[in-house]
């Protein structure tokens, strides 16, 4: 066992040194991948203890991607519970499989290491372990006001799942949730009423899953960046400025109406006195009715002229105002159409690192 661990350490140091000498731009295999390849060779050569030691050493390296951690756990499970009955370590293998289910509840075992007995052990681990995995798309483009960003989530058992967004400063926001879910996609909207809900910047997406059958809670944190530029709309006036409207009638001649009323009043009184019999002229109050009639007539004439005289139409101004109103309505319609086009073509970018933060 000590010899196997010594060989593992030597292989580990060799892989790290080789990886450091390689050009990163060439996208060479990582030291972890090379180490897992050595572990798989040992497994195929029936050196199960050595394969387990090498895979265990790979799990100690940093940074360790999620896919590499899953691969290392799969190799460890196969090495701890091979077909050879004498080499089987069931409790240790079950513990490794539970760790696998914890981070990848739907993961299968690769055919290089699995066999029916190990598959049965994996099913037992899945029944007894609560796990969650997240598989977001690394880069998402959101177009228009209604498109949603989605974060696919899988759990090993029905759970209540909550998606939270943590801004650089301020309070967190719950984006979405699901109940009694094992396979769901939590979604959130970038625009609300034409305004980005979340300004451009770095965020943390946090998924919290609560097992509904046992007191167990898991939390996964992902780094995210949102690029949501402000949406600029054209101004749309509510009403036409009265300063652009020309008078459509001439000024009414109400002073002439008032003078006509006065003339009617005076004429009525004079006529009544001139046409009355001489015997009646000296009677007390003989002129009262004539004065009353004159007042009514005078006020009626003046009031009628005042109410009915609205001035004469000015045809050229009426035509100009009609054209101005039509142009205003056209500009409003064009502005609204352009704003609707800008809203439909709005584009935001969301980048989510699929590797959970430690």
Domain at 75, CATH number: 1.25.40
Instruction: Clarify whether residues 115 and 193 are in a common domain.
Output: no
Q: Is residue 24 part of a domain?
A: yes
Q: What is the pTM of this model?
A: 0.70
Q: Could you report the per-residue pLDDT of 41-94, keeping only the tens digit for each?
A: 999 999 999 999 999 999 999 889 999 999 999 999 999 999 999 999 999 999
Residues 6+ positions from 282 with CB-CB distance below 8 Å: none
Instruction: Clarify whether residues 76 and 14 are in a common domain.
Output: yes
Residue with tokens 């004429």: 267
Instruction: Clarify whether residues 223 and 252 are in a common domain.
Output: no
pLDDT at 160 over 90: yes
Could you tell me the two tokens for 264? 């009617």
Q: Is residue 119 part of a domain?
A: yes
Q: For residue 238, what pLDDT band results from cuts at 50, 70 and 90?
A: confident
Q: Is residue 357 part of a domain?
A: no
Instruction: Clarify whether residues 149 and 194 are in a common domain.
Output: yes
Quick check: 160 and 218 in contact, CB under 8 A? no
Instruction: Clarify whether residues 70 and 141 are in a common domain.
Output: no
Q: Is residue 334 part of a domain?
A: yes
Rg (CA), the chain: 45
In sequence order, what are the beta bridge partners of 211? 159
Instruction: Clarify whether residues 271 and 256 are in a common domain.
Output: yes
CA dist 250 and 139 (Å) reads 68
Q: Which residues constitute the domain of residue 77?
A: 2-129
Which of 95, 129, 163 is the C-terminal boundary of a domain? 129
Work out how many domains the chain is built from and give that number. 3
Instruction: Clarify whether residues 278 and 331 are in a common domain.
Output: yes
Q: What share of the chain is helix, strand, coil (3-state, %, to 5)?
A: 50, 20, 30
Quick check: 282 and 339 in contact, CB under 8 A? no
């Amino acid at each position: 066992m000590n010899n196997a661990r010594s060989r593992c350490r030597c292989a580990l140091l060799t892989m790290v040194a080789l990886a450091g000498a390689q050009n990163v731009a060439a996208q060479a295999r990582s030291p972890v991948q090379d180490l897992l390849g050595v572990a798989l060779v040992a497994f195929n050569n029936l050196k199960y203890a050595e394969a387990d030691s090498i895979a265990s050493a790979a799990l100690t390296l940093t940074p360790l991607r999620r896919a590499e951690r899953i691969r290392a756990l799969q190799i460890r499970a196969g090495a701890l519970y091979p077909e050879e009955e004498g080499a089987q370590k069931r409790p240790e293998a079950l513990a490794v499989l539970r760790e696998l289910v914890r981070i990848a509840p739907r993961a299968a075992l690769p055919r290089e290491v699995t066999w029916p007995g190990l598959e049965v052990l994996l099913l037992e681990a899945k029944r007894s372990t609560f796990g969650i995995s997240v598989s977001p798309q690394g880069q998402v483009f959101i177009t228009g006001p209604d498109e949603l960003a989605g974060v696919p989530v899988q759990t090993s058992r029905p759970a209540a799942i909550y998606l939270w967004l943590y801004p650089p400063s301020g309070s967190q926001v719950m984006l979405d949730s699901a109940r009694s879910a094992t396979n769901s996609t939590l979604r959130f909207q970038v625009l609300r009423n034409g305004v980005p809900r979340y300004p451009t910047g770095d965020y943390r997406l946090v998924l919290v899953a609560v097992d509904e059958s046992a007191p167990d809670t898991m939390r996964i944190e992902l780094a995210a960046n949102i690029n949501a530029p402000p949406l600029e709309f054209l101004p749309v006036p509510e009403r036409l400025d009265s300063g652009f409207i020309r008078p459509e009638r001439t000024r009414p001649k109400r002073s002439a109406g008032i003078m006509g009323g006065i003339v009617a009043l005076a004429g009525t009184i004079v006529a009544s006195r001139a046409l009355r019999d001489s015997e009646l002229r000296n009677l007390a109050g003989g002129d009262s009715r004539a004065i009353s009639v004159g007042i009514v007539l005078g006020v009626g004439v003046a009031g009628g002229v005042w109410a009915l005289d609205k001035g004469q139409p000015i045809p050229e101004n009426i035509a100009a105002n009609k054209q101005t109103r039509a142009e205003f309505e056209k500009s409003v319609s064009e502005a609204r159409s352009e704003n609707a086009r800008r809203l439909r073509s709005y584009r935001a970018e969301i980048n989510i690192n699929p590797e959970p933060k430690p």
